[in-house]
Chain A
Amino acid sequence: MKENKIELKIQALVDAELTESEAEQMRECMDNDVRLQILYAQLIQTKDLISKHEMPRILPESGDFYWTKIAQEIGGVEPANQGSNNSLVIKWLFRRLAPLLGIATIVLLITLQQPSVPDLGIEFKSDHELELLDDDIEVMTFNSIDDSISIVWLDYSMDLQKDYMELWLD
């Protein structure tokens, strides 16, 4: 048991894992024991061989890169879920609002079809126009205050005798 412990300590000495005092103590032990010296030499030789001839093992990707990829995958999945939620909301709104939008559009079209100036029966100013083609005819005009009757009196005699007679004969 003790020898096994000493061999582990020699191994630790080879791997430079002992403190300075422990290393000094082991060297003193080896000076007095040939068997330990041989063991030490074998271990040094083995370590040298391993360091020189071991096949390098290259990892496909570093640990940091691996976790970065996982983080990217998580980041990529979350927006997709959010997008599907948004599309559901849009579909729901479309189903509810499409009929209302249709009605609003129709009402707008109907409104646009109405006369641009509604006839409220209110006259803000007179829009009477008079055009006389014969300068020899004198004209007088009369408009009531409420504009309910407008009269144009022409100095033009019209013979209604025949019409008059027909009236009388009716």
Chain B
Amino acid sequence: MEILSKYSLGKFFVFVAIWLFVVSGVASGKADSIEISASLVVGTSKEKKGSKKVSDPIRKRLSKVFKWRNYYKLSVKQLSIPDDKTKTTKLSKKAFIKVNNRKNGKISVSLFSGAKMLIQKSQTLRTGGYMVLAGDSKGDSAWFIVISKTN
């Protein structure tokens, strides 16, 4: 019991406080980045066996809105973006997106086709939520860029 004298107890509390401070700093540092998944998806009425299908939650949500029943992944990119930073990723031969982390889950996505910026969409993206940019493609199909938060 002499070890836990008043001075040792004080030092113990100070040590615990410093440890908590360091751990919280590391935790807060991790929380400053947002993890984004961006997929280029094609929607079509034709079924292609052996192709990469989108996950069921995405397929169900898109099917409720659009006429196409089949949705296939053309490319998937994972982005980790710190606060106030922007990252660019190419999704197809011509299309690429710039994603800006505006803090607290809010992102801003700019869609480019070649050198031309088509649109910029900003919103708070929750985990499990989707931001979709879409348009026509050749034939009876459409392109979809599906952006979701993974952390």
Residues on A lying within 8 angstroms of B by beta carbon are: 95-96, 98-100, 102-103, 105-107, 109-110, 113-115, 117, 119, 121, 123, 126-134, 137, 139, 142, 144, 147-164, 166-168, 170
How far, in whole Å, are A147 and B125 apart by their CA atoms in the complex? 9
Partner pick for B119 among A98, A105, A127, A133, CB 8 A cutoff: A133
CB distance from A130 to the nearest CB of B (A): 6
Residues on B lying within 8 angstroms of A by beta carbon are: 6, 9-10, 13-14, 16-18, 20-21, 24-25, 28, 31, 40, 42, 48, 51-52, 61, 65, 72-75, 92-95, 103-106, 108, 113, 116-124, 126, 128-138, 141, 143
Interface residue SS majority, chain A: mixed
Contact A119/B105 with A113-B24, A150-B130 known, Cβ cut-off 8 Å:
yes
CB distance from A154 to the nearest CB of B (A): 4
How far, in whole Å, are A50 and B98 apart by their CA atoms in the complex? 122
How far, in whole Å, are A110 and B24 apart by their CA atoms in the complex? 6
Q: Are A159 and B138 in contact (CB under 8 A)?
A: yes
| Closest A-B pairs by Cβ, 5 of them | A99-B13, A129-B122, A154-B135, A131-B120, A106-B17
Q: Are A160 and B143 in contact (CB under 8 A)?
A: yes
Q: Are B42 and A132 in contact (CB under 8 A)?
A: no
